[in-house]
Homo-oligomer: A and B are copies of this chain.
Amino acid sequence: MVQFSPARLDSSFGALSDATRRGVLEQLGRSDASITELAEKFDMTLAGMMKHVGVLEQAGLVTTKKIGRVRTCQLGPRRLEEETVWLERYRQRWDERFDELDKVVDELTRKEKSDERKNRK
């Protein structure tokens, strides 16, 4: 049974709510990169990219290390396990909920048709 940590889900979903940050994760999934390389790739100032990387680092999705004057980024320890489980459970509930509603609608439609038939008689 996965135990959800609300604060962790808050910070990881928050980190994922930005297209640039998702792009950085996709990039680091291919190869490590320096902040400068990422800033160039995403057409952004160094300061702007550092902010995004900071948010990803806080969420455990990226780790950075400074060698000389270059700060290199790589994927962090978090594999988004809990987030995936949360989404899967939600979708399961969503399906069940709409199945229930479908059944109610079906029943109402059947009842309506049967009433119509009775009224026609």
Judged by DSSP, the binding face of A is helix
> Which of A11-19, A39-47, A64-72 lines the interface with chain B?
A11-19
State the oligomeric state as a number of copies.
2
In Å, the complex CA distance between A17 and B14 comes to: 5
Within 8 A of B (CB), among A68-101: 75, 79-81, 83-84, 86-88, 90-91, 93-98
Q: Which chain B residue lies CB-closest to A59?
A: B17
Count residues of chain A with CB under 8 A from any CB of chain B: 34
Contact check: which of B14, B29, B93 meets A29 at CB < 8 Å? B93
In Å, the complex CA distance between A97 and B79 comes to: 11
In Å, the complex CA distance between A81 and B14 comes to: 18
Please give 17 more A-B residue pairs, beta carbons under 8 A apart, in addition to A10-B17, A80-B87: A6-B19, A7-B19, A9-B16, A9-B17, A9-B22, A10-B19, A11-B17, A13-B16, A13-B17, A25-B90, A29-B90, A30-B93, A79-B94, A80-B90, A83-B87, A84-B84, A84-B91
